[in-house]
Structure 1
């Protein structure tokens, strides 16, 4: 299991950043990245959940994005992470959920981010996107 020591903290941060954007762009699957996430130590999972929740906030997710993302995530709509993300406004305290819910929270957050980011690329970035994270090369 991978932790979050000072040596691997930056590597974990960069990996999480790439993961959410690769899933959003269809360059890898949610299942592949869930496997990576599952191998992290609980502290690493908490750090990634905080980071991915931050990305979701920056993407200005809506309750509609939440519902669509939950449907894509494979997580039951009644699970805590699903309910939290579909609230209006969404709740972002995923890192404080019990460790047994971290994988569900990751799946929900990445899926909802993918929906919101795609929507924003089609509206705000349409035709003139200069965000490097919106144009990742294939692996």
Structure 2
């Protein structure tokens, strides 16, 4: 599992704090930040993110609901707008990361509880604090 995949999923599962993840993300070069944003978008789409997941993610992210990435992820259907989040200017990347990871955490938690409960073989759903 690559570092970004582990960190994103640790945040989503509450094994790593969002603030800590945002510090890690902020330390990446700009081109890597954009790559990580694309990665989170992909994970959110795989988790079947809904607009309600997006709105709850915004609430948990610490980002103002009027910020561009927060508005984009909260409107129906969010899947149409997710790809546009990576097109935001670099000054929005950290807010976008916070919103995307928080919304992904909501969607992925729902997915783990509904679809993977007791039968999941996904390595990224079976992390532990010691992994």
TM-score band (shorter)?
over 0.9
Deviation, structure 1 residue 19 = 1.3
8 Å CA contact 1:60, 1:116 repeated in 2 = yes
Deviation, structure 1 residue 137 = 2.4
Question: Could you tell me which of 10, 13, 20 is aligned with 1:32?
Answer: 20
Deviation, structure 1 residue 96 = 1.3
- 2: CA distance between counterparts of 1:67 and 1:136? 26
Say whether residues 1:106 and 2:94 are aligned partners. Answer: no
Q: Looking at CA atoms only, which structure, 1 or 2, has the larger radius of gyration?
A: 1
Aligned residues: 127
Deviation, structure 1 residue 75 = 0.3
TM-score of the superposed pair, with normalisation by structure 1: 0.88
Deviation, structure 1 residue 15 = 1.6
Instruction: Render the CA deviation track for 1:15-51: whole Å, top value 9, x for unaligned.
Output: 2211121011111100001000001111111111011
When the two chains are superposed, the root-mean-square deviation of aligned CA atoms in Å is 1.2
Say whether residues 1:21 and 2:9 are aligned partners. Answer: yes
Give the structure 1 partner of residue 61 of structure 2.
73
